[in-house]
Chain A
Amino acid sequence: MSNSTEKIEYVSYLDHKGKYKGLMAWIMATDHKKIGLLYMYSIMTFFFIGVILGLMMKVELLAPGETIMKAQTYNGVFTLHGILMIFMVVIPGLSATFGNFFLPILIGAKDVSFPKLNRFSWWIFIVGSIMAVASQLLKDGPPDSGWTFYAPYSTTTGTNVIMATAAAFVLGFSSILTGLNFIVTVHQMRAPGMRFFNMPLFPWSLYATAWIQLLATPVIGITLLMLIAERLFNIGFFDPNLGGDPLLFQHLFWIYSHPAVYVMMLPAMGVITEIIPTFCQRQIYGYKAVAISSLAIAGVGFLVWGHHMYTSGMSDEARWFFSLLTFIVAVPSAIKVFNWITTMYKGSIDVKPPFLYALTFIFLFIIGGTTGLLLGAVATNVQVHDTAFVVAHFHYIIFGGMGFAFFAAIHYWLPKMYGRMYNFKIANIALVINFIGFNLLYFPQFIIGIQGMPRRYFDYPAQFQPAQVLSSIGGFILVIGLILMVYNLVKGARSGEIAPENPWNGSTLEWTLPATPSLENFDEEPIIKENPYDYK
């Protein structure tokens, strides 16, 4: 370095003084790390509202008949639970929180390509979220269409469906813009010398995810606008009484909403792919296979939406086609699982909380994935479609998968985000409680689903009660575990021990930075290595 360049003094991004102060410093922040934290705080808040709604349902279902609320209230509660959890928690979840925070760092960049657009995306996210909450409070009553908004029920019910769909529409823009930002960032902002195959695998998964966000989200946007137009102006897109086709709605809805599952899952797989090698002190096994399987999942994932509609009255040929493709998309996911486990072989395994969360993720993900095979095969789908089995399956995938990957990520990267460490013992206890609660909550639903218990049921025949009670007990246990986990994390972030810059002996780029990175991450241009897992 020449003598004329002034050495920049290190200031943690958290202590950086900008133009604004206090709360405004956060709202006006363009630093990708602060935006990542903003997403995390808002998403965790919505998550806990969603959890409370979920718990209300579990209490209602403790006994047949009316327990604590009326049927109309229950229908509103499961609708809001779905909208909140899907559009405001799991879709933005990992990519907006940890993607924002770590994508630039992992590719050696100072920020995303468009920092102001990034800030704008968060603002839109908040506006959309406020609209979703407002739909509950306005005069006509909470929407009761389910988060799937199936027509013609959604176009004829008297409740506030327009506000809820408009909220999902607005939230979609946040997702599209984040996707766009990440794609451009990966193409344009990689540090000099870093090619695509020198990137770690979390950026790979975010890159694949971003393409889905960019290409699929407009479809749901248009669909929801059509639904609003049908309600406001009686234009018959979907309601057969107006000359429309309800199956058209389902196709359009799932053309987005199935790929959206991969928006949730791919970054989760990416996180796990970072954590496993770190705690095994090994290179990830099959780097290229994992990278390419992300793109394969994103690609084939666009073509399997029809498996949500086997019984809808769709043609037999379509059922054949969608079933075949659904089974094929299972293969790249299986490859990833094999790669993770092989990475442990002959490693030096350090069993710390992030690693335990990653193992739990793999276990729950295998259950979620293999029960998906029963849903993907047409014959068995007929038995379990639209039952509690589906509810259990997607909670295993989305909560057990994406949710536990989120918890793994928080435990993994918290020292880099706050420069402090949480208590390992409490983290492990919380994990065990979460694991027991989770399985007790969702596993019984597989059983009653197989027996025919339909989903979205306010009331149920008495023969299903024992399983429902078990499930509700599981719900309470899980909530206790979640509260303990969050308490431990918050305490760690605020007043935990000061963390070293590389507490896990990790070998990716972020661990070469100070315990909390500076505003622009790399005050000196990083020297890029051929192998993304060689920064020690």
Chain B
Amino acid sequence: MFSNASNFVQGVDSAFLIITAISVFFLVALTGLMIYFVVKYNKKKAIPAVQIKDNSLLEITWIAIPMILVLYMFYIGWEGFIPMRQVPKDAMEVTAIGSMWKFEFEYAGNKQSDTLVVPIDKAVKVNLASKDVLHGFSVPGFRIKEDMVPQKKNYTWFIAGELGDYDIYCTVYCGLNHSYMMSVIRVVSQADYDKWIKALPVKKVDNNLGLKVLEKNGCIACHSLDGSKLVGPSFKGLHGSTSEVTINGVNTKITVDSAYLESSIYDPNKEIVVGYPQGVMKSYKGIIQKKDVELINEYLKTLK
């Protein structure tokens, strides 16, 4: 009766059904009783109220029964959950990295993908990491969810039981484009998986120090390296270009040079490029050192 999308569906859904059934029973019974009393003991019937003495036996009963029920619900909740923390030793490992506002998946052999492709019927451990702020790794179809915390190890795992695509959502609010931070788990046959991973190119590593500074401070979440328009202007071809900015409400044309870029890092709201919002970026004064700003400038000069 339960879907076989992952090995956790049955545990979670049966706990869900039992707790919901108990809840609905109490909701219907108590509401029904309320309505019954309101009709039966209505003032219009002109029967005077009877004062009833407290009855210890009754009170102990309605403490004891809910106590037993809640302990039972706690137990099935725990039973459904604990397998989620017990990863089989032979599980295949993938690292999921969250950053504003995308998921990246790193496979063995320094390969990287933006969708999580996994073979069916195989245990997959997903190590969770974040580059900047908190993110959530939620796969409703698999009944799994864990947070991605910067510089702290967390993980989840699963065995996918059915072929197909399953949505991944970021569930911890992470700023402007939180609601666009999504990806997909694609469950394929072992043969297809092997083909896919073989074709996946090895990630090129760029060791430019200026780029490292940009990555570390989360700059490229809003300023793309490939010319696409995100929250702020793209870095591609920025250095040396001409751009129109607003200073105190007046528009002027300026040339983007190292001095302008430095002032944009330390006092971002002073000169805003026309067409971009004010107040989204904070000042990085005291966070990015002068020498690192120079590294950024050197890197941006090369980014044509």
Interface of A with B (CB < 8 Å)?
70-72, 75, 139-141, 144, 146, 150, 152-153, 156-159, 234, 240-241, 245-247, 280-283, 285-289, 311-313, 316, 319-320, 323-324, 327-328, 330-331, 334-335, 337-338, 341-342, 344-351, 359, 362-363, 366-367, 370-371, 373-374, 376-383, 385-387, 451-452, 454-461
- A17 CB → nearest B CB, Å: 42
A344–B52 CA distance with the chains assembled, in angstroms? 10
Query: 0/1 per residue, B73-86, Cβ < 8 Å to A?
Result: 11011111110110
Is B249 close to A, CB under 8 A? no
Contact of A379 among B15, B154, B286 (CB under 8 A): B15
Write the nearest CB–CB distance from B245 to chain A, whole angstroms. 17
Q: Is B279 within 8 A of A373, CB to CB?
A: no
Q: Is the CB of A367 within 8 A of B19?
A: no
Q: Say yes or no for B138: interface residue by CB 8 A criterion.
A: yes
Query: Is there an interface contact between A330 and B66, defined as CB atoms closer than 8 Å?
Result: yes
Asked if residues B38 and A351 are in contact (CB atoms below 8 Å), the reply is yes
28 inter-chain pairs at a CB distance below 8 angstroms, sorted by A residue, are A139-B269, A141-B279, A146-B173, A153-B173, A153-B174, A157-B282, A158-B279, A241-B151, A246-B152, A247-B152, A312-B147, A323-B77, A327-B70, A327-B74, A331-B67, A341-B30, A344-B37, A346-B41, A346-B49, A347-B41, A348-B48, A363-B34, A376-B73, A379-B15, A382-B143, A387-B171, A456-B178, A457-B179
Quick check: B77 and A370 within 8 Å, CB to CB? no
Residue pair A313, B154 in contact (C-beta under 8 Å)? yes
Which of A152, A289, A378 is within 8 Å of B133, CB to CB?
Answer: A152
Chain A CB within 8 A of B90 CB = no
Q: Is B117 positioned at the interface, with any CB of A under 8 Å from its CB?
A: no
Chain A, residue nearest B143 (CB)? A383
From B76, B140, B173, B280, A72 is in contact (CB under 8 Å) with B280
Which 10 A-B residue pairings sit nearest by Cβ, starting from the closest? Answer: A377-B77, A452-B140, A379-B80, A141-B279, A158-B282, A370-B23, A240-B151, A313-B154, A386-B171, A378-B81
B52 in contact with A345 (CB, 8 Å): yes
Residue B220, interface by CB 8 Å: no
Nearest chain B residue, comparing its CB with the CB of A456: B173
Whether A311 pairs with B146 at a CB distance below 8 angstroms is yes
B185 within 8 A of A: no
Q: A247-B149, A311-B145, A378-B77 are in contact. Are A348 and B268 (CB under 8 A)?
A: no
A288 to B54, CA, bound (A): 9
Given contacts A240-B152, A283-B51, A313-B154, contact A158 B268 (CB under 8 A): yes
For chain B, the bracket of interface size reads 35 or more
Q: How far is B45's CA from A141's CA once the two chains are assembled, in angstroms?
A: 62
Q: CB < 8 Å: which of A150, A312, A316, A341 contacts B173? A: A150
Q: How far is the CA of A139 from the CA of B278 in the complex (A)?
A: 9
Q: Is B277 an interface residue (CB 8 A)?
A: yes
Tell me which of A319, A327, A350, A381 has the highest count of chain B C-beta atoms within 10 A of its own C-beta.
Answer: A327
Q: Does B199 contact A (CB under 8 A)?
A: no
Say how far A161's CB is from chain B's closest CB, in angstroms. 9
Select one of A70, A246, A371, A383 contacting B23, CB under 8 A: A371
Check A349/B42 contact, CB under 8 A, given A311-B145, A313-B152, A344-B34.
Answer: yes
Contact B49 A335 (CB under 8 A): no
Distance A328 CA – B287 CA, assembled complex (angstroms): 46
**B27 with A367: CB separation less than 8 A:** yes
Instruction: Establish whether residues B66 and A331, one from each chain, have CB atoms under 8 Å apart when the complex forms.
Output: yes
Q: Tell me if B281 is interfacial: C-beta within 8 Å of chain A.
A: yes
Interface 1/0s, chain B 208-234, versus A by CB < 8 A? 000000001010000000000000000
Q: How far is the CA of A404 from the CA of B167 in the complex (A)?
A: 37
B196 on interface, CB distance cutoff 8 Å: no
Q: Assuming A150-B172, A380-B16, what are 13 further A-B pairs, CB within 8 angstroms? A: A144-B175, A152-B150, A247-B152, A337-B30, A345-B37, A345-B52, A346-B49, A363-B31, A373-B23, A374-B19, A374-B23, A451-B140, A455-B173
**What is the chain A residue whose CB lies nearest that of B136?**
A386
Cβ-closest chain A residue relative to B23: A370
Partner among B58, B134, B143, B282 whose Cβ is within 8 Å of the Cβ of A152:
B134
Question: With A and B bound together, what is the CA distance between A312 and B218 in angstroms?
Answer: 22
Which of B162-194 touch A at CB < 8 Å?
Answer: 167, 169-180
Neighbouring B residues of A349 by C-beta, 8 Å = 37-38, 41-43
Measured in the bound complex, the distance between the Cα atoms of B89 and A417 in whole Å is 69
B142 to chain A, nearest CB (A): 10
- Which B-chain residue is minimally distant from A451 (CB atoms)? B140
Q: A158-B279, A286-B54, A382-B81 are in contact. Are A377 and B73 (CB under 8 A)?
A: yes
- Note all chain A residues with C-beta closer than 8 A to B79: 379
Which one, A150, A374, A461, contacts B20 given CB within 8 A? A374
Docked-complex contact B37 and A158, CB < 8 angstroms: no
Query: In the complex the two chains form, is B279's CB within 8 Å of A140's CB?
Result: yes
Contact partners of A70 in chain B: CB under 8 A: 277
Given contacts A156-B282, A281-B49, A454-B171, contact A362 B176 (CB under 8 A): no
Among B134, B152, B170, B177, residue most surrounded by chain A Cβ atoms (within 10 Å): B134
**Chain A residues positioned under 8 Å from B85 (CB to CB):** 316
CB contact under 8 A between A328 and B150, given known A146-B173, A379-B12: no
The CA of A286 and the CA of B51, in the complex, are separated in Å by: 12
Bound-complex Cα distance A379 to B78 (A): 6
